[in-house]
Amino acid sequence: MRLLRLWPDQSHFDFMRFRRFSFPFSALVSVATVVLFLLMGLNYGIDFKGGTLIELRPKAGPSDVAAVRHTANSFGFGETEVQEFGNQGSISVRFPLQAGGETGQTLVMQKAHAAFDKDYAFDRVETVGPRVSGELVQSGTIGIVLSVVAVLLYLWFRFERELALGAIVGTLHDIVLTVGVFVISRIEFNMTSIAAILTIVGYSLNETVVVFDRTRELMRRYKTMPTEELLNLSINSTMSRTVMTATSTALSLVALVLFGGEAIKGFSVVMLIGVLLCTYSAIFVSTPFLIYIGLQAGGTRAGQREASALPQAAE
């Protein structure tokens, strides 16, 4: 029985020729992401800002977003965010953090129940105080920084210098563009978003390690092969696995986006885009970067170190 082939076994596609376009494009998008982040910031969720989040579902008939917004603003609790979501006309109402601690948040809930109990069911209620939100911001930031540092250290010791630099550049590229997805789409940034970023870091690491392991193997075997040809061979020889992994992961995430519900929709969308970014990065950013830092099959210190330890292989 013939096995399914998602990529030809003997492919010789020239991926490296696209580096003249992928590098300027990625650099431009990365700089734009940083600028937008500084100008717009993230759409922080209740986990980080504090306050009260209520999700309402109409008991009968369509929801009236304008009426809910007018009623919520009339409470006098400050600027209230009211948005419709989902297929059933559900409405999310976000009240800012109130003075008076727990008493202030309790007053919000009392007025909300009095105004909306007749026409809407309360599907979700979350209240986060200033102390808790501050601790979550601090813990989340420390968690991301430590995780990224650990990954970068792993890459540095996992590969020779040139390969490690390429892997680090690709991982940082994926982190920046993932944050850009949150900035541009205005998807709520909460604790689930941190989980999405860390998962994407792991996926990016996995994609890069697979390609660079093959690159290192081919460097030992073909010591006189031109760098561009060697890198193209590395990508082509792992492309079937890359396509299979990205396709199966993307299909799972599409199912979560369509049927997973609003609670994880933001996470699923970011993860889906992140998988595409990581696949693009491993092929068109991390690997071509090796050319610019002067990687050579037999001319780098990495090649010289391993030449004495490994038997000479025939090309």
Where a domain ends, among 111, 128, 145? 128
What tens digit of pLDDT does each residue of 262-279 get? 667 888 899 999 999 999
Q: Verify that 146 and 237 share a domain, yes or no.
A: yes
Q: Do 237 and 214 touch, CB atoms closer than 8 A?
A: yes
Q: Verify that 101 and 183 share a domain, yes or no.
A: no
What tens digit of pLDDT does each residue of 129-188 get? 655 556 766 777 787 788 888 878 887 887 778 888 888 899 899 999 999 999 998 888
Q: Is residue 36 part of a domain?
A: yes
- Paired with 57 in beta bridges are 121
Phi/psi for 57 (5° steps) reads: -125, 125
Q: Verify that 91 and 185 share a domain, yes or no.
A: no
Q: How confident is the model at residue 305 (pLDDT cuts 50, 70, 90)?
A: very low
Q: Verify that 177 and 263 share a domain, yes or no.
A: yes
Q: Is residue 3 part of a domain?
A: no
Q: Verify that 155 and 251 share a domain, yes or no.
A: yes
Q: Is residue 2 part of a domain?
A: no
Residue-by-residue DSSP string for the chain = -PPP-SS-TT-----GGGHHHHHHHHHHHHHHHHHHHHHH---B-HHHH-EEEEEEEESSS---HHHHHHHHHTT-SS--EEEEETTTTEEEEEEPPPTTTHHHHHHHHHHHHHHHTTTEEEEEEEEE-HHHHHHHHHHHHHHHHHHHHHHHHHHHHHS-HHHHHHHHHHHHHHHHHHHHHHHHH---BSHHHHHHHHHHHHHHHHHHHHHHHHHHHHHHH-TTS-HHHHHHHHHHHHHHHHHHHHHHHHHHHHHHHHHS-GGGHHHHHHHHHHHHHHHHHIIIIIHHHHHHTT--TTTSHHHHHHHTTSPPPP-
Q: Verify that 32 and 87 share a domain, yes or no.
A: no
Residue 288 structural domain: 16-43+133-307
Q: How confident is the model at residue 58 (pLDDT cuts 50, 70, 90)?
A: confident
Q: From CA 298, how far away is CA 282, in angstroms rounded?
A: 23
What tens digit of pLDDT does each residue of 197-237 get? 888 988 988 888 888 888 888 888 888 888 888 899 999 98
Query: Domain of 84: which CATH number?
Result: 3.30.70.3400
- The reported pTM is 0.74
Q: Is residue 99 part of a domain?
A: yes
Residue 180 is predicted with a pLDDT of 92
Structural domains counted in the chain: 2
Where a domain ends, among 112, 128, 144? 128
Phi/psi for 196 (5° steps) reads: -65, -45
Q: Kindly state the average pLDDT of the residues 282-298.
A: 82
Q: Is residue 6 part of a domain?
A: no
Residue 113 is predicted with a pLDDT of 86
Q: Verify that 122 and 56 share a domain, yes or no.
A: yes
Q: How confident is the model at residue 62 (pLDDT cuts 50, 70, 90)?
A: confident
Q: Verify that 103 and 249 share a domain, yes or no.
A: no
Residue 2 is predicted with a pLDDT of 53
Query: Domain of 282: which CATH number?
Result: 1.20.1640.10
Residue 91 is predicted with a pLDDT of 85
Where a domain ends, among 79, 98, 128? 128
Q: Verify that 100 and 172 share a domain, yes or no.
A: no
